[in-house]
Structure 1
Amino acid sequence: MSRLTVTVGGTLGDDLSAFVGAWRRAERGEAVADHVLAFESWEGLARVMTGERFRLLRHLHAHPEPSVSALARALGRQYRRVHADVTALEVAGLLDRSSGGVRATADRITAELRLAS
């Protein structure tokens, strides 16, 4: 199962610390499979992960689609809006279109909301 962690509200120092930790694990020969998507604020996350985009990801996890057109039909939504959602989620690393279809990149997304920096 592939996992993705979404963090909200961390600092540049937090990100640097996580990067250095992963680098050191890799130097020791340990497997490093951290997949982290960091957002500066709740608003930044909310611009990427809307309710419709979450529904789209859940659908793709259960039913990868051969194209954006097929995905729009399966969801009963306009192609133009689904295409915009797919593009935003692809840029964020939450879905993949490189293998001739459209699929979610993770089986599980864990969120970490930091209240203090």
Structure 2
Amino acid sequence: MSNTLYVEIQPAEAAIDTFGATLQQLEAGQLVAPHFSIGFETVPQFAKVFTPKRWELISELKKFGAVSIYELAKRLDRHYRNVHQDVALLSEWLVVEKDENGKVFVPWDEIDVRLPLAAVAA
């Protein structure tokens, strides 16, 4: 099974419809495959969270595994405070996690960003 985080840009109604369909399947006793996703209604909302510096941070964490925020800041050649803020925000969005030793890591094998063209045109 793939360990994928899906990032979707779609209207809130579409996300609610997907959730409702999944809930109906569960209530009917059907088996539902795990699906981890976060959503944004607009491209600017997405871009506010997933900045180029944060993508670099995600890539670095995936490349080297769990490290302290201090070590991550050194590897990225960035100020500790800025990296700490980025990690905190990405943790809120479930992109980054902390292990039992307080080291941060990316728990996903891949992040699949989906941008339906209809969402951009809306």
TM range (shorter): 0.7 to 0.9
Q: Give the whole-Å Cα distance in 1 for the aligned partners of 2:80 and 2:107.
A: 21
Residue aligning to 1:11: 11
- Which 4+ residue blocks in structure 1 deviate beyond 6 angstroms? none
CA shift at 1:69, angstroms? Answer: 0.6
What is the correspondence of 1:74-113 to structure 2 with a 5 Å cutoff? Answer: 74-100=75-101, 101-113=103-115
SS at match of 1:52: helix
Partner secondary structure for residue 37 of structure 1: strand
CA distance in 1, matches of 2:100, 2:58: 17
CA contact (8 A) 2:22 2:32 kept: no
Task: Give me the TM-score of the superposition, normalised by structure 2.
Answer: 0.84
Moved more, 96-105 or 32-41: 96-105
Q: Is the 8 A contact 2:61 2:67 kept in 1?
A: no
- Work out the percentage of aligned pairs sharing the same amino acid: 26
Query: Given that residues 26 and 32 in structure 1 are in contact (C-alpha distance below 8 angstroms), is that contact kept between their aligned partners in structure 2?
Result: no
Name the structure 1 match of 2:57: 56
Mapped partners of 1:25, 1:104: distance in 2: 30
Deviation at 1:57, TM superposition (A): 0.5
One-letter amino acid of the counterpart of residue 11, structure 1? P
Tell me how far 1:111 sits from its aligned partner. Answer: 1.5
User: TM-score when scaled to structure 1?
Assistant: 0.87
